[in-house]
Amino acid sequence: MRGAGEREVLLVVHPDRDATTGAARDVAARLAAAGIRLRVVDDEVRRIVEPPGHDLPCAVVAPYDNPAGGTELVLVLGGDGTLLRAAELARPAGVPILGVNLGRVGFLTEADYDALGETVEGVVQRRYRIEERMTIDVTVTHGDVVTASTWALNEASVEKSSRERILDALIEVDGRPVSSFGCDGVLCSTPTGSTAYAFSAGGPVIWPDVEALLVVPSNAHAMFSRPLVVSRSSVIVVHVDPHGSPAVLTCDGLRHFDLERGSRVRVVAGGVPVRLARLWDGPFTDRLVHKFSLPVTGWRERHARRT
């Protein structure tokens, strides 16, 4: 049992990256030196942070039913995919997530690997602030039967289940049909997800503090197949044609559900946000420029240098 006032952090790591082992051991040693106990998700991670011959305190394997419950923070070593998996653990407990990027873009993560020491020190000193990110709640019905109920931080994607087929879909917003077409899929995204799959499908970038939902058709065979930005209070429904092909629903690339012909996928703003821990001040604009390596030197500056 933890003593009164004892601090505990849940560590979630990407299991297949070479950098993970060294980073996890470094984090474990720094937290132990600060008197913060480590909780891990399974025995494999426990073996990583407690290698033979190292004098580290025993890491506690998290309880299966509530891995993040009672912890101060979920610390993630990996990319956005690892952070999304950690969000499944942190969201029910209301615990904030702080990510250290060991992947490529790492848009959701707060720091890169070369700032690992500063990041852990920020955790030790509790120098982080909490930012709440909007989620979506997703319900699938077939007739009068609810066949699935889930959520997403980034997006819910309704896609054709077979490469050779076309998904025939009807998009409805607030009880009114908007457009129907054949397509590869339809993405329903949060502002956070606008820089993920929806961005790759041609959707706009939405600043995370904008209260809105985004609908992005993917490779639609239609004249009107533009992305739609609708109110946070809107209800989006994607209808799968009852005479067309079956489909599949994927949320955050993690949770998958087969959709029968005639299924309805209802998407609304989520009732429970995901809490992200932030260490560094600065506007979203700077994060966007940094993560996508955007050119910010205009023709005026180039001309001035030449003259």
Q: Could you tell me the CA-to-CA distances from 75 to 12, 14, 47, 54 in Å, in that order?
A: 6, 12, 17, 21
Q: Where are the domains of the chain?
A: 8-133, 136-269
What superfamily does domain 136-269 belong to in CATH? Probable inorganic polyphosphate/atp-NAD kinase; domain 2 (2.60.200.30)
Give the pairing type, strands 136-142 and 145-152. antiparallel
pLDDT in 10s for each residue of the chain, 307 residues: 455 568 999 999 987 766 688 888 899 989 989 999 999 988 878 877 876 665 555 577 877 788 999 999 999 999 999 999 999 999 999 999 999 998 777 789 988 888 999 999 999 999 999 999 999 999 999 999 999 999 999 999 999 998 888 999 999 999 999 999 999 999 999 999 999 999 999 999 999 999 999 999 999 987 778 999 999 999 999 999 999 999 999 999 999 999 999 999 999 999 999 999 999 888 899 888 988 888 887 656 665 565 5
Asked if the 8-133 domain carries CATH number 3.40.50.1820, the reply is no
Token pair, residue 249, equals 């629903």
CA torsion sign for 198, 203, 204, 210 is: negative
Which of the residues 80, 168, 241, 252 is marked catalytic? 80
Q: Does 80 qualify as catalytic in the annotation?
A: yes
